[in-house]
Structure 1
Amino acid sequence: MRHARDVLADVLQQLPARARGELRRHVARLDDTYRARTLPDPFADRRPWRSDRWWRRRLAAGRDSG
């Protein structure tokens, strides 16, 4: 999931304004679901990779962890 969300973030930056707004609304709903099913990583700031993308600073169980 995290890689897919990385790709979506990159795509959102490249789309024209109208398409970007429409996709952003769909992605926002998915982001809300992901936030509800994961927890913040309390050690995210101490990790060597220190991502600036919020979904990379979440703890998830199972196959979604990568």
Structure 2
Amino acid sequence: MLEEVLRQLPPRPRAQLQRQVRALDAKYVERTLPDPFAADRQWRSDLWWRRRLAG
């Protein structure tokens, strides 16, 4: 959903939101572990956050 919103925003708001999303993505990656079985699950494995294990 965020990707769709980002595509439709004008340049300045898009850049501001992208910075915030990247910061949140980095925090999530820092606080989670890779899921070694993610490729075997039924959800879309190309969605990177679904390949992480949260505590």
How high is the TM-score relative to the length of structure 2?
Answer: 0.76
Flag structure 1 segments of 5+ consecutive residues without an equivalent. 1-6, 62-66
Aligned sequence identity (%): 62
How many matched pairs?
55
Return the structure number with greater relative CO, CA threshold 8 A, min gap 6: 1
Match of 2:19 among 7, 25, 30: 25
Higher alpha-carbon Rg = 2
- Structure 2, unaligned runs of 5 or more: none
**Structure-2 change in CA distance of 1:9 and 1:56 (3 Å):** farther
TM-score by length of 1: 0.67
Distance in 1 of aligned mates of 2:8 and 2:20: 16
Which of 16, 24, 45 is matched with 1:51 structurally?
A: 45
